Amino acid sequence: PGNQLPYDPEKKTIVILGSGWGATSLLKSLDTTEYNVVVISPKNYFLFTPLLPSVAVGTLSQKSILQPTRYVARHKTRAVTVIEAEGKKVDPIHKTVTFEDDSEIQGTVHQTTIPYDYLVYAVGAEVQTFGIPGVQEKACFMKELADAENMQRRFKDCIESAAFPGQDSTEIDRLLHIVVVGGGPTGIEVSGEIHDFLEDDLRTWYPELAGRIRISLVEALPSVLPMFSKQLIEYTESTFKESKIEILTKTMVKEVKDKSVVLQMPDKSIQDVPCGMVVWAGGNKNRKITQDLMAQFPSVQTKRGLTVDDHLRMAGAEGIFAIGDCTSTSYAPTAQVASQQGAYLARVFTQLGKKENLERQLISLDQAITTASGEDKAKIAEEIESTQSQIAKIKIRPFHYSHQGSLAYIGSDKAIADLPFANGNIASGGVATFLFWRSAYLSTLFSLRNRTLVANDWLITKIFGRDLSRD
């Protein structure tokens, strides 16, 4: 009784945990002819993270950067089962995954365990807070869709509270001070987007307040954007200076309070800086399910993320592939890497499917030859030889990453790009790069539907400005 998975006992089952960059890229390219495929993720959609900061200030609407996973799965040769649930436990010995429906509305059955032949582990990472007091409870993050909505609500709330009649002047300055923590690409892009909101819209609607809005970007290291070339770091710093976004390097956040942020300054002094909102973009850390999985292989899983071999097979386990931000490799935790890994695994599964088919054929030929005689026996022997040589020819190559370059939006209709070319890198920054940034992301969006929605949002924002209402 109830919903049953479409199960073909002849086929192997691939369980994909996650519906982000790695999982969606795999699903898109995967030939499901030879497999039962099950996708399990607490989000029943793919989120196009590069445009999340644009959603946070209302340049884009949230639905424009989402792609329901069922849309991605619907054109497959065999039905793909999509389950909205959170993976809770992987048992690599018995090859099972236990998952749970964590949503507000649940049926009587909300936890179950299913077996896999292959597990593609692509659960991504969560926000690293380093256990710094107040970060988890009081700061806004920029990782999930809900974070962008939360930041937008908080930002608009700060402005409306500052506009309250008779508001105290010091309190206005506090409410209008936005602190962004983390000088990685997320922190830079969020600061740039907030600045655009201020210049394009808030100056018109809150002329008396706009000049008092301050954005500070706090970074513990000596420089922002360490993955970009020196020239582009300097370009970003000078653009931020023009935009009046203050960059505080060698400055570390020690605590986030209700109405302030505690900073350790470069000279090691401590300052309690009043602010209305803190946006935390401090990097990634492993999810609990990943830590639990790693803990089952303490001798080989010793790094910060899952250790995989050059074929993306998880060290120590059989039948588990791991991709994206949950792994620890020489590559940066980016969408570019995760999506190339997903596409690579789709090719691996095609090869494995072919190999397993031939192996099955070989088993039946081996059985047939025992009872055959004369000419038939010779024919089967020939077929066995040919099948064996076909199997031997199937070579699965290791994963190879091809870096397409780094791009980031820095506000004021400017972007930076470090692009690899034959004779080294080309570094460019400015308005032309911004147009390139837009077209690159537009073409990377997974579907025509998303491209249309995003292009339409950009046009609407250009004509009518961003929406100021707070939900």
Please provide the DSSP assignment of 35-56 as one string: EEEEEEESSSEEE-GGGHHHHH
User: Which residues inside 361-380 make contact with ligand NAD, applying CB under 6 A?
Assistant: none
SS3 state of residue 374 = helix
> Which of the listed partners (ligand FAD, ligand NAD, none) does 252 bind, with a CB threshold of 5 to 8 Å by partner kind?
ligand NAD
Q: Which helix (H) or strand (E) holds 299?
A: none
Per CB under 6 A, 411 contacts ligand NAD: no
Per CB under 6 A, 442 contacts ligand FAD: no
The sheet with strand 260-264 has its strands ordered as 252-256, 260-264, 270-274
Q: Which stretch binds ligand FAD (CB under 6 A): 102-110, 272-280, 302-310, 318-326?
A: 318-326
Query: Rounded to 5, what percent of the chain is helix, strand, coil?
Result: 40, 25, 35
Where helices occur in 176-242 by DSSP H, the ranges are 185-197, 203-205, 207-210, 230-242
Taking the least distance from each CB to ligand FAD, the nearer of 22 and 92 is 22
Per CB under 6 A, 418 contacts ligand NAD: no
Largest CA distance in the chain: 104
Q: Which of 66, 122, 158, 162 binds ligand FAD (CB under 6 A)?
A: 122
Give the bridge partners for 452, in sequence order: none
User: Which residues inside 168-187 make contact with ligand FAD, applying CB under 6 A?
Assistant: 186
Per CB under 6 A, 192 contacts ligand FAD: no
Per CB under 6 A, 339 contacts ligand NAD: no
Q: Which of 20, 183, 276, 429 binds ligand NAD (CB under 6 A)?
A: 183
> Which of the listed partners (ligand FAD, ligand NAD, none) does 324 bind, with a CB threshold of 5 to 8 Å by partner kind?
ligand FAD
Q: Which of 58, 134, 187, 429 binds ligand NAD (CB under 6 A)?
A: 187
Long-range (24+ apart) CB contacts under 8 A made by 101-110 are: 102/42, 109/2
Number of H helices, E strands in the chain: 15, 22
Q: Which stretch binds ligand NAD (CB under 6 A): 2-10, 164-172, 193-201, 216-224?
A: 216-224
Residues 44 and 55: their CA atoms lie apart, in Å, by 19
> Which of the listed partners (ligand NAD, ligand FAD, none) does 19 bind, with a CB threshold of 5 to 8 Å by partner kind?
ligand FAD
- Residue 155's nearest CA partner among 204, 220, 201, 218 is 201
> Which of the listed partners (ligand FAD, ligand NAD, none) does 43 bind, with a CB threshold of 5 to 8 Å by partner kind?
ligand FAD
> Which of the listed partners (ligand FAD, ligand NAD, none) does 227 bind, with a CB threshold of 5 to 8 Å by partner kind?
ligand NAD
Taking the least distance from each CB to ligand FAD, the nearer of 172 and 281 is 281
Taking the least distance from each CB to ligand FAD, the nearer of 52 and 162 is 52
Q: Which of 57, 142, 320, 380 binds ligand FAD (CB under 6 A)?
A: 142
Structure tokens at 49: 């993270």
Taking the least distance from each CB to ligand NAD, the nearer of 68 and 283 is 283
Q: Which of 281, 323, 365, 453 binds ligand NAD (CB under 6 A)?
A: 281
N-to-C CA span, the chain: 42
User: Which residues inside 75-94 make contact with ligand FAD, applying CB under 6 A?
Assistant: 86-87
Give the bridge partners for 277, in sequence order: 178
Per CB under 6 A, 433 contacts ligand FAD: no
Structure tokens at 349: 């599964």
Q: Which helix (H) or strand (E) holds 260?
A: strand 260-264
Where helices occur in 305-373 by DSSP H, the ranges are 335-371
Q: Which of 13, 19, 129, 243 binds ligand FAD (CB under 6 A)?
A: 19
- Residue 279's nearest CA partner among 193, 342, 344 is 193
Residues 155 and 157: their CA atoms lie apart, in Å, by 5
SS3 state of residue 103 = coil
Please provide the DSSP assignment of 368-420 as one string: HHHH--HHHHHHHHHHHHHHHHHHHH---PPP------EEEEEETTEEEEEEE
Per CB under 6 A, 143 contacts ligand FAD: yes
Q: Which stretch binds ligand FAD (CB under 6 A): 221-229, 245-253, 294-302, 334-342?
A: 334-342
- Residue 177's nearest CA partner among 158, 198, 202, 196 is 158
Check: CB of residue 406 under 8 Å from CB of residue 428: no
Contact pattern for ligand FAD over residues 33 through 52, marking x by CB under 6 A = -------xxxx-----xx-x
Q: How many residues does the chain have?
A: 471
Taking the least distance from each CB to ligand NAD, the nearer of 262 and 315 is 262
User: Which residues inside 241-300 make contact with ligand FAD, applying CB under 6 A?
Assistant: 287, 289
Residues that bind ligand NAD (CB under 6 A): 50, 130, 132, 181-187, 189, 218-221, 227, 252-253, 281-284, 332-334, 406-408
Residues that bind ligand FAD (CB under 6 A): 17-23, 40-43, 49-50, 52-53, 86-87, 122-124, 142-143, 186, 287, 289, 324-326, 333-336, 338
